[in-house]
């Protein structure tokens, strides 16, 4: 099973994936679909929102007679991502105190995700 | 349905709802998406995308970000937009007195005796509240509660001036004035409660209380000027061009207030604020926060608290100036495209600062801290004395 991603987490994941390199919509969607249950239509609003917020830049590159629109993370996006990462670690820790409450504490941080 | 049908239906679903640039942006995205997926996957992609209407809904849904700040338009206050829902909900205090409403006659300079509904000395004529566009209140000691006329009728006064009536009102050229006159020398200023139900839109309102409590909610006021010597003010669900609120000793609370310019200042936090029973709980239970903004929005925001804490959250895309020379500042904003200038006291320490570094920020030293946020993002900061 997978857990649905809320908007902030989705934003965070998009930003995270883009730190590995610029991507176009389709490739980004496929990349994320490997990990989470994501509808094909989900990412456009997310990308647009992040772009408007100054977290992403876009540029077009010709490919087979048409354009591919690439998304690239900006410094603002990286800052936002670092905030998300911190928040996620904290959140994950809190969730795990409930999920694994009977297990010894030193096991924390080693659990696989998803 | 094939890819072409999908795209043309998507265009139709969005065309009247999106500006041209956004429309072509969205269509280009999905067009590219189909192209990348290739003909082999076209069916699968169509399946997964769902109906064009559903995709359109998703695109539109996400546009619901922060509403624009109203523009100041001095001669046409009706253009102001009132945001927020729940305006029609009567607040408990006001609802309770609706049963005892007393409509008053619009006599010029008529003295208002300290009585409740049904007492002699009052005309039963309805005051023509529709004719009121401006409001001027100047009282030494009072609770004043102002609400839109959907929640009641006219002007209602309770407990005033015993034994000597000294509260007066008149309506002239659309201006409702409430004032007091010469009580006997050395006499305690008499006081009471005024409930005012006004047309939703006012050109201006000037409210001055030496001591007491003020609540205003659910109105659009082009220029709102509030001065309270000692006591509390709660301003809620207002749209305003310019709001200036000043409290000497007490608390100032703004919730869902949108304005071109919001200026608030509190000199110091009072022991109990003003009249305890009406003080917003958040402030009574608070930790010394004298000036609170929640869910507010402004093009220009200026807050100052001489002794006490300032807490502000909302949407502030313009100029922000916060000062708490002897206290703490809590500030959180979405939609930031601005230069913040936040004064802090000499030895204060910045406790939390995140999500904005990449936008460019610097600490310039001394008692001024400058924060620049390049684009719409979240900012949160807190520093304490």
Q: Which of B28, B58, B355 sits opposite A80 (nearest CB)?
A: B355
Give dist(CA B28, CA B18) in Å, integer: 14
Give pLDDT, residue B91: 32
Neighbours of A95 (CB within 10 A): 10
pLDDT tens-digit map of B300-313: 888 888 877 788 88
Give pLDDT, residue A10: 87
B170 pLDDT band (50/70/90 cuts)? confident
Global confidence as pTM: 0.49
Average pLDDT of every residue of chain A = 82
Give pLDDT, residue B162: 57
* A91 and B CB contact within 8 Å: no
For B59, which residue in chain A has the nearest alpha carbon?
A45
Find tokens 């807490």 and name the residue: B311
Query: Are the Cβ atoms of A77 and B358 closer than 8 angstroms?
Result: yes
The yes-or-no verdict on residue B19 having pLDDT over 80 is: yes
Neighbours of B283 (CB within 10 A): 20
Query: Are the Cβ atoms of B377 and A76 closer than 8 angstroms?
Result: yes
Give pLDDT, residue B183: 55
B237-250 mean pLDDT: 91
* A114 and B CB contact within 8 Å: no
In chain B, pLDDT over 90 holds for what percent of residues?
A: 15
For B47, which residue in chain A has the nearest alpha carbon?
A40
> What are the C-alpha distances in Å from B155 to residues B94, B122, B238?
12, 12, 20
Q: First CA to last CA across chain A, in angstroms? A: 8
* A95 and B CB contact within 8 Å: no
Q: Please, are residues B165 and B113 in contact by the beta-carbon 8 Å criterion?
A: yes
Give dist(CA B324, CA B343) in Å, integer: 7
Preferred mutation among A32, A43, A65, A79 to probe B, highest tally of B CBs within 10 A: A79
The yes-or-no verdict on residue B160 having pLDDT over 90 is: no
Give pLDDT, residue A22: 93
Preferred mutation among A15, A40, A49 to probe B, highest tally of B CBs within 10 A: A40
Phi/psi region, residue B110 (left: phi>0; alpha: psi -120 to 50; beta: rest), is beta
Give pLDDT, residue B286: 46
Per the model's pLDDT, the better-predicted residue between B284 and B161 turns out to be B161
Give pLDDT, residue A90: 86
Neighbours of B289 (CB within 10 A): 21
Least confident residue range of A14-18, B151-155, B207-211, B319-323: B151-155
B260: which DSSP letter?
A: E
The yes-or-no verdict on residue B63 having pLDDT over 80 is: no
B224 pLDDT band (50/70/90 cuts)? very high
B356-377 mean pLDDT: 42
pLDDT tens-digit map of B69-122: 222 222 222 222 222 222 222 233 333 233 233 333 333 444 443 332 322 334
A47 CB neighbours in chain B (<8 A) are 29
Give the count of Cβ contacts less than 8 A between chain A and B.
Answer: 90
Q: Is the peptide bond before B163 cis (omega within 30 degrees of 0)?
A: yes
Ranges of beta strands (E only) in B269-288 are none
Preferred mutation among A30, A54, A60, A62 to probe B, highest tally of B CBs within 10 A: A54
Per the model's pLDDT, the better-predicted residue between B119 and A75 turns out to be A75
Give pLDDT, residue B198: 84
B63: which DSSP letter?
A: T
Q: Please, are residues B300 and B322 in contact by the beta-carbon 8 Å criterion?
A: no
Rounded-to-5 percentages of helix, strand, coil across chain A: 50, 15, 30
pLDDT tens-digit map of B274-292: 333 333 444 434 456 788 8
Query: Are the Cβ atoms of B28 and A49 closer than 8 angstroms?
Result: no
Q: First CA to last CA across chain B, in angstroms? A: 64
Give pLDDT, residue B223: 92
Query: Are the Cβ atoms of B377 and A68 closer than 8 angstroms?
Result: no
Find tokens 């500006």 and name the residue: B19
């Amino acid at each position: 099973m997978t857990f649905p991603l809320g908007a902030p987490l989705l934003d965070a994941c998009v930003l995270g994936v883009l730190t590995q390199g610029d991507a176009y919509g389709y490739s980004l969607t496929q990349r994320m679909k490997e990990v989470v249950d994501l509808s094909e239509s989900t990412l456009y609003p997310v990308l647009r929102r992040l772009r408007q917020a100054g977290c992403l830049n876009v540029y077009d590159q010709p490919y087979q007679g048409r354009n591919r629109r690439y998304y690239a993370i900006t410094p603002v996006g990286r800052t936002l991502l670092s905030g998300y990462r911190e928040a996620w670690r904290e959140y994950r820790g809190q969730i795990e105190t409930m999920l694994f409450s009977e297990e010894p504490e030193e096991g924390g941080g080693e659990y696989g995700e998803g | 349905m094939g890819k072409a049908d999908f795209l043309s239906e998507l265009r139709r679903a969005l065309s009247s709802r999106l500006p041209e640039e956004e429309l072509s942006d969205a269509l280009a995205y999905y067009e590219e998406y189909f192209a990348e997926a290739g003909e082999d996957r076209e069916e699968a992609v169509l399946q997964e995308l769902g109906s064009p209407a559903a995709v359109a809904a998703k695109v539109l849904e996400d546009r619901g970000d922060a509403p624009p700040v109203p523009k100041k338009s001095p001669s046409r206050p009706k253009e102001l937009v009132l945001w927020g829902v729940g305006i029609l909900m009567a607040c408990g205090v006001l609802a309770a007195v609706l049963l005892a409403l007393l409509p008053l006659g619009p006599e010029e300079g008529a003295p208002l005796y300290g009585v409740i509904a049904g007492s002699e000395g009052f005309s039963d004529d309805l005051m023509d509240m529709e004719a009121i566009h401006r409001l001027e209140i100047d009282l030494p000691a009072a609770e004043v509660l102002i609400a839109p006329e959907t929640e009641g009728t006219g002007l209602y006064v309770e407990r005033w001036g015993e034994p000597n009536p000294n509260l007066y009102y008149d309506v002239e050229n659309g201006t409702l004035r409430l004032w007091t006159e010469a009580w006997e020398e050395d006499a305690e200023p008499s006081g009471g409660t005024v409930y005012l139900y006004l047309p939703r839109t006012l050109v201006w309102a000037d409210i001055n209380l030496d001591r007491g409590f003020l609540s205003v909610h659910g109105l659009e006021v082009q220029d709102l000027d509030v001065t309270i010597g000692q006591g509390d003010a709660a301003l809620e669900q207002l749209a305003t061009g310019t709001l200036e609120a000043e409290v000497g000793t007490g608390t100032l609370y703004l919730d869902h207030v949108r304005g071109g310019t919001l200026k608030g200042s509190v000199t110091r936090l009072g022991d109990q604020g003003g009249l305890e029973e009406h003080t917003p709980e958040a402030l009574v239970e608070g930790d010394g926060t004298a000036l609170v903004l929640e869910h507010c929005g402004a093009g220009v925001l200026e807050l100052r608290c001489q002794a006490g804490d300032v807490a502000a959250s909302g949407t502030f895309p313009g100029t922000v100036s916060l000062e708490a020379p002897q206290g703490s500042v809590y500030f959180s904003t979405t939609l930031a495209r601005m230069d913040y200038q936040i004064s802090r006291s000499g030895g204060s320490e910045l406790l939390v600062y995140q999500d904005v570094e990449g936008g460019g920020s610097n600490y310039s030293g001394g008692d001024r801290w400058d924060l620049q946020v390049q684009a719409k993002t979240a900012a949160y900061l807190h520093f304490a004395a």
